[in-house]
Amino acid sequence: MRFAIGIEYQGSRFQGWQRQRGGRSVQACIEQALSRVANQPVAVVTAGRTDTGVHATAQVAHFDTSSRRSNYSWQRGANSFLHSDVAVTWISPVPDDFHARFSALRRCYRYVILNRNTRSAVFRDLATWDYRPLDAARMQNAARSLIGEHNFSGFRAAGCQASSATRTIYNLDVRRHGAWICIDVCANAFLQHMVRNLVGVLTAIGAGDQPEEWATEVLLGRDRRQGGVTAPACGLYLTAVVYPARMELPEPPEPIRFW
């Protein structure tokens, strides 16, 4: 039987989603917890791998098992074996053709920036601090040129292994809320470090270090070396994975915010 699960985690103490040697990963923690509930090995497949230090409020994965447990027992049991920085938020039986990665229609991220002249002791692992006064309106104007289907080679990590750099961004919104700036982006899929590289370009524009047209230049140049710095991982949250309505999965929660 196949199940889909919703997962929330604070990524500061994880070396990303993917299972690996010598490092703590979200995938390994989830698999160990579910395996204990199932009394047999359980492997999970995720909607999208997140990097070291990246958080998630609405990650989705699936697993197959022959063990029979109620939804309540799966969720309550798994959470009893998980550390406080990761939790299973829901579980639902799904058709055998459901795939957490390939069935997803789009993924959404929120990047959170604390924009003031002093760093935060409370939010140091939960948001990126940028002391430069950022012009959110300039950032939003620049972001408009990135919406649509494009080759995003200029925004991918040097080690990205995706066979194609073509992605479709459906929306890219920059908003200020007092000292906070949030950047919401939704696309059919993302390249490695793509969101963090988008943020690096937009914050350089917001700080006045580059003109608004620079975002278009980086996009058309298709050369990562022409782009800005990669924004820190601590400000990034996976906030939604959207699937066809027929899957009848729970709606993702409201994106994280501190204002």
3-state secondary structure of 233: helix
Q: Is the CB of residue 54 less than 8 Å from the CB of residue 195?
A: no
Whether 2-103 shares its CATH topology with 107-238 is answered: yes
Q: Is the CB of residue 109 less than 8 Å from the CB of residue 188?
A: no
pTM, entire model:
0.96
Give pLDDT tens digits for 115-157.
999 999 999 999 999 999 999 999 999 999 999 999 999 999 9
3-state secondary structure of 92: strand
Give pLDDT tens digits for 151-166.
999 999 988 889 999 9
Query: In terms of CATH architecture, what is 107-238?
Result: 2-Layer Sandwich (3.30)
Give pLDDT tens digits for 3-32.
999 999 999 999 999 998 888 999 999 999
Residue 202's pLDDT is what? 98
Give pLDDT tens digits for 45-92.
999 999 999 999 999 999 999 999 999 999 999 999 999 999 999 999
Residue numbers annotated as active site: 51
Where in the chain are the domains? 2-103, 107-238
From 3.40.50.1100, 3.40.50.10490, 3.40.50.1000, 3.30.70.580, which CATH number describes the 2-103 domain? 3.30.70.580
End-to-end CA distance of the chain: 42
Residue 221's pLDDT is what? 94
Q: Is the CB of residue 109 less than 8 Å from the CB of residue 237?
A: yes
Q: Please report how many Cα atoms fall inside a 13 Å half-sphere around the Cα of residue 28, on the Cβ side.
A: 11
Residue 141: burial class (beta carbons within 10 Å; 0-12, 13-18, 19+)? middle
Arithmetic mean of pLDDT, 186-197: 97
